Amino acid sequence: MRAQNAVQPSTFRCRVYFEDTDAGGIVYYVNYLKFMERARTERLRDLGFLQSTLAAEGLLFVVHSAEARYHAPAKLDDELLVSAEVIELNRASLRFRQQVRRATDDALLCEGQFMVACVRADNLKPRAIPPTLHAAFAEQGGAGKSKAGE
């Protein structure tokens, strides 16, 4: 199901700490992926689902693929706004569009897309997203077409 753009992406606020920076004093590139992971986790929490509860029920979400583009650096003490928008919802996977922006000037620092698969915790094989969670994502993302084969 393709999500419509009518619903605003959720936004996670975070601060750049010394541990996030490299020797040049800017955010180390891989840490943007960590910020985006946290935003996806908070998106689930906003929908009423905790990853710890889902894991205890035998369900995990794993990143299948990631794509990131870097535009400008974040630096120590910057406050960041990290968005997580579901742009594709399938039977056993979701595609997120994400952006990291600096809060003070709304400058786009990094953007990417992430395909996240739903898998069984015991064997890591794909499984359908539970109906209540699928419905929550569909409601937040709007109605659309299902992708064949998912």
> What CATH number has the domain bearing residue 48?
3.10.129.10
Q: Residue 10: what pLDDT? A: 85
**Burial of residue 147, with CB atoms counted within 10 A of its CB: 0-12 exposed, 13-18 middle, 19 or more buried:** middle
Query: Which tens digits make up the pLDDT trace of 72-104?
Result: 999 999 999 999 999 999 999 999 999 999 999
Asked if residue 5 belongs to a domain, the reply is: no
Q: Residue 2: what pLDDT? A: 41
Report how many domains make up the chain. 1
Backbone angles phi, psi at 97, to 5 degrees: -105, 130
Asked if residue 39 belongs to a domain, the reply is: yes
Query: Is the confidence at residue 145, as pLDDT, over 60?
Result: no
Residue 36 and residue 99 in contact, taking contact as beta carbons nearer than 8 Å:
no
Which secondary structure element, helix H or strand E, spans residue 52, and what is its range? helix 51-56
Query: Which tens digits make up the pLDDT trace of 26-75?
Result: 999 999 999 999 999 999 999 999 999 999 999 999 999 999 999 999 99
Which position among 20, 22, 46, 122 bears the catalytic label? 22
Q: Residue 49: what pLDDT? A: 95
Mean pLDDT of 117-133: 97
Residue type, 75: K
Q: Residue 28: what pLDDT? A: 96
Active site residue 22: yes
Query: Which tens digits make up the pLDDT trace of 4-18?
Result: 433 456 899 999 999
Asked if residue 146 belongs to a domain, the reply is: no
Q: Residue 140: what pLDDT? A: 75
Asked if residue 4 belongs to a domain, the reply is: no
d(CA 87, CA 71): 22
User: pTM to 2 decimals?
Assistant: 0.86
Asked if residue 23 belongs to a domain, the reply is: yes
Backbone angles phi, psi at 135, to 5 degrees: -65, -40
Residue 118: CB atoms within 10 Å: 21
Domain that holds residue 93: 10-141
